């Protein structure tokens, strides 16, 4: 699982440039995860749809079950 994430990170991270600090690298990775990876990757719990696709179909709560039950 981690290998797939890092392979995607290496291929898809838009700014393939040197970062000047560890903080800048953290920001770049954070923006990638929150802006692309989490919303776009397919989830087995969602019938292998991305959260964006599932929300567009209008069945995110149906697929995940009642979110209030946690």
pLDDT for position 69: 44
Predicted model pTM: 0.54
Average pLDDT over residues 41-64: 76
pLDDT tens figures, 5-28: 788 777 777 666 678 899 988 888
Which of these, 40, 56, 35, lies nearest to 48 by C-alpha position?
40
pLDDT for position 23: 93
pLDDT > 70: percent of the chain: 76
């Amino acid at each position: 699982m981690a290998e797939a994430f890092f392979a995607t990170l290496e291929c898809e991270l838009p700014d393939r440039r040197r970062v000047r600090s560890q903080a800048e690298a953290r920001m770049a990775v954070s923006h990638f995860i929150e802006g692309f990876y989490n919303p776009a990757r397919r989830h087995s719990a969602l019938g292998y749809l991305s959260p964006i696709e599932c929300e567009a179909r209008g069945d995110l709560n149906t697929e995940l079950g009642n979110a209030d039950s946690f």
